[in-house]
Structure 1
């Protein structure tokens, strides 16, 4: 079954065959689309990599031990117990240079709690110890 564009007189068709032209144009269009560089509008950001070691609560410059009126001990504003205090003190002694340790008991804290914490600090062999907040006691004497 031949396609004769609707004429049955047997004469050859005089119209140009556009199928190969369209095929070539499509191939050229696809090649042009492929060769165009991809336009990216991305902003490159260097994200921090997750570390496998947990963050240490021991600061490199100075650390603060605070005892509140109820007798709770804080290390850099984090509540801790005596075992954790000793671990943090040992970790701070591992650093070079040794960070300062600021000791600040609340005026209403019980003396036995303050004495217990000072004994832990002394047994840890801390050499850079400073008492901060002493100005709160100036009117007591």
Structure 2
């Protein structure tokens, strides 16, 4: 077994600084990964949802149906109604029947903003649960 000192022990002192080259390499790779993936997180993804056949809902109480036609006309049950009258009428009906379910039927060509406006009015009337009625796929 050799007991002498080597050349490396005499000439070299412990290294006191960090080699930053590998650190910079790793940081640049992470930066590139985040730059590539960040725009993908903010964009929507187009998804084709599967068609499904769902059974009809069984209820004991006839729901209040608010229908929105393609031209924006609103109906409560079968009666045309102005949008300004929607919230007061629903509040009056909910006072008589507190558990009355409310469904929204929107035409396929109805602008989304009109449906959102009706849902907002329902929320201001104190309604927290609204069902959206759709037609089964043909």
- Tell me the TM-score normalized by structure 2: 0.50
SS of the aligned residue for 1:84 comes to helix
Higher Cα Rg, which structure = 1
State the number of aligned residues: 78
Q: Does 1:115 align with 2:116?
A: yes
Displacement, 1:127? 3.6
Q: How far 1:128 sits from its partner (Å)?
A: 4.2
SS at match of 2:67: strand
In the alignment, the residues of structure 1 paired with residue 95 and residue 102 of structure 2 have an alpha-carbon distance, to the nearest angstrom, of: 14
**How far apart, CA to CA, are the structure 2 residues paired with 1:135 and 1:92?**
29
Query: Are 2:66 and 2:103, in contact at CA under 8 Å, matched by a contact in 1?
Result: yes
Question: Which residue matches 2:53?
Answer: none
Aligned residues of 2:75 and 2:81 also touching (Cα < 8 A): yes
Deviations 1:14-60 (A, max 9, x none): xxxxxxxxxxxxxxxxxxxxxxxxxxxxxxxxxxxxxxxxxxxxxx7
**CA distance 1:85–1:115, shift in 2 (3 Å):** same
Stretches (4+) displaced over 4 A: none
Structure with greater helix share of residues: 2
1:133 is displaced (CA, Å) by 1.4
CA deviation after TM superposition for structure 1 residue 121, in Å: 0.7
Once residues 83 and 71 of structure 2 are traced to their aligned partners in structure 1, the CA distance between those partners, rounded to angstroms, is: 15
Secondary structure of the corresponding residue to residue 87 of structure 1: helix
Which structure exhibits the higher relative contact order, with contacts defined as CA atoms closer than 8 Å and separated by 6 or more residues? Answer: 2
Q: 2:93 aligns to what SS in structure 1? A: helix
Q: How much does 1:95 deviate? A: 2.1
Normalized against structure 1, the TM-score is what?
0.49
Corresponding residue SS for 1:92: helix
Q: Which residue of 2 aligns with 1:130?
A: 131
5+ unaligned residues in a row in structure 2: which ranges?
1-60
Q: Which runs of 5+ in 1 are unaligned?
A: 1-59
RMSD over aligned CA atoms reads: 2.1
The 5-angstrom pairing of residues 29-68 of structure 1 reads 61-68=62-69
